[in-house]
Structure 1
């Protein structure tokens, strides 16, 4: 499990991104459960994720409507299958509007860059 913490901060909200190899929806649920064993991540406002599987993309917005689709689109562009990416947000008290989608995109971009520079899936 690769975790990049504190990748973005805006108006009190903080973001992290995590990911790793994942081959099924059950494995994705287990990945999220493992991530939430870290108390910090279990207390997050949103743990949004996306996973491209052969023939069936899976996503979970975890209350951040539309964020899972943003993650899936980026995974599709990258051609990264069987690898879950989770964007975590701790709400800082101020609504971010459309900026929250840009932050999700940027968090995934940071993750993918780290993955490419420091060893693939």
Structure 2
């Protein structure tokens, strides 16, 4: 599991990005369970994720509407399969509007560049 913390801070919200290999829904669930063993990730406001598997894409917005699709689109462009990427957000008290999508994109971009 690769984790990159403090990727973005905006109006009190903080973002981190994590990822690792996953070839099935069960492996994605195990990855998320492992990630959330760290109390700070378990208490995060959103853990949005996406993965391109052999039997199709899977995603979860985890309450951050549209974030899973943003992650999937970036995985498709990078042609990265069987690798789950999770963008974590700790809500800072102010709504970010459309900026939240740019932040999800930037977090995924930072992760992909670190591969």
Work out whether the TM-score is over 0.5: yes
Aligned residues: CA RMSD:
0.5
- The aligned counterpart of 2:26 is 26
Secondary structure in 1 aligned to 2:106?
helix
Compute the displacement of 1:41 (Å).
Answer: 0.4
Match of 1:114 in 2: 114
User: Match for residue 47 of structure 1?
Assistant: 47
Deviation digits for residues 14-70 of structure 1, max 9, x if unmatched? Answer: 000000010001110110010000011001000000000114000000000100000
Q: Which residue of 1 aligns with 2:62?
A: 62
Verify: 1:4 aligned to 2:4, yes or no: yes
User: When the two structures are superposed, what TM-score results if normalisation uses the length of structure 1?
Assistant: 0.94
Structure 2 residue matching 1:95: 3-state secondary structure: coil
Structure 2: distance between partners of 1:90 and 1:60: 16
1:13 is the counterpart of 2:17: no
Which segment is superposed worse, 48-57 or 67-76? 48-57
Structure 1 alignment gaps of length 5 or more: 116-121
Name the count of aligned residue pairs.
115
Q: With structure 2 as the length reference, what TM-score do the two structures score?
A: 0.99
Residue 35 (str. 1) matches residue 32 (str. 2) = no
